[in-house]
Amino acid sequence: MSFKVELDMNIKIILTFLIAVTMSGCASLGSYNAATGRQELIFISTPQEVAMGQTVHKQITATEKLSKDSELIARVNRIGKKVASASDRQDYQYHFYVIEKNEINAYTVPGGGIYIYTGLLNELKSDDEIAAVLGHEIGHCAARHTVKKFQAALGYDFLSEIVLSKVDQQMQQLAAMGSGAVMTLVTSAYSRSDEYQADQLGLKYMRRAGYDLNGMVKSFEVLAKEGGGGSTPLILRTHPYIADRIKAVKEEIAKSHN
């Protein structure tokens, strides 16, 4: 998308938002993000984000198979909930899903849904390593990276419906996109700065929840090793810059020991 088109779209969105604010008498433009410590212009409210997550979940489970391994599901939920309880963002519930597929993959969707594949879980040895992968995803949720990614990709019509709170139309539109398009959006890459921030938040939540921070380095080394074999694991498509991130995380851990 060209800069001009993007600029025009932002102006249109802001105008629509201002009209909606005037009509509804609601005065808050932007909201404080506890994870990033910044004011941010996110148009999608938490209830709208949760509704989006439910629609996206239907599309994911239309193509991917949820695991029936109750022991593994319980383990992922135990670790995930422990780390999530340390998250800066507590205005929705986190949900953890295990997908039965031999793929090195994990991602998050709007509304706090976090998906991890058995192919990745088979490579992660300790609870600390699983906590690191889930903590990183929780970091993306807490900093609203996922909803920001969706907001940027969905376009003007969708956002104007969001702003005007036409929830049913939004969800119909999202459902009409089909699982392929939604999966492409779910598995599109985050920016480098969002990746670093999710790592930092993940480490913070791991520390608060009592996990060994070195689990993050180990989990990244698993991904880097898998990435060395020719085919790139899907998780690296969503979460790139792994070599730089290993270095940054090691520095962050060293700092926390001082």
- Judged by beta carbon, residue 53 or residue 139, the one nearer Zn ion is 139
| Tokens 């990244």 -> residue | 220
User: Do residues 49 and 111 lie in contact, with contact meaning Cβ atoms separated by under 8 Å?
Assistant: yes
What is the nearest approach in angstroms of Zn ion to the Cβ of residue 36?
15
Looking at the DSSP bridge assignments, the partners of residue 33 are 38
Where do contacts with Zn ion occur on this chain (CB under 5 A)?
A: 198, 239
Nearer to Zn ion, 94 or 158 (CB): 94
Q: How far is the CB of 136 from Zn ion (least distance, A)?
A: 6
Residue of 114, 35, 117 lying closest to 80 (CA atoms): 114
**95 versus 239: smaller Cβ distance to Zn ion:** 239
Nearest to 55 by CA among 111, 107, 99, 100: 111
Burial of 28 (0-12, 13-18, 19+ CB in 10 A): exposed
Q: Give whichever of 161 and 195 is closer to Zn ion, judged by the CB atom.
A: 195
* Coil/strand/helix, residue 114: strand
H or E element, residue 31: strand 31-33
Q: Which is nearer to Zn ion, 12 or 192 (CB)?
A: 192
User: What is the DSSP code (8-state) at residue 199?
Assistant: H
For the CB of residue 18, give the shortest distance to Zn ion in the complex, in Å. Answer: 33
Alpha helix positions (H), the chain: 3-24, 46-63, 70-84, 118-121, 127-142, 145-154, 156-163, 167-176, 178-186, 192-209, 214-227, 234-238, 242-257
225's CB contacts (< 8 A; 6+ apart) are none
DSSP-derived letter for residue 66 is B
For Zn ion, give the closer residue by CB, 114 or 174: 114
Choose between 141 and 198: whose C-beta lies nearer to Zn ion. Answer: 198
Cα–chain-centroid distance for residue 62?
A: 20
Minimum distance of Zn ion from residue 107's CB (angstroms):
8
Give residue number: closest CB to Zn ion: 239
CB of 238 to Zn ion, least distance (A): 6
**C-beta of 26: minimal distance to Zn ion in Å?**
32
Q: Tell the smallest beta-carbon distance from residue 189 to Zn ion (Å).
A: 8
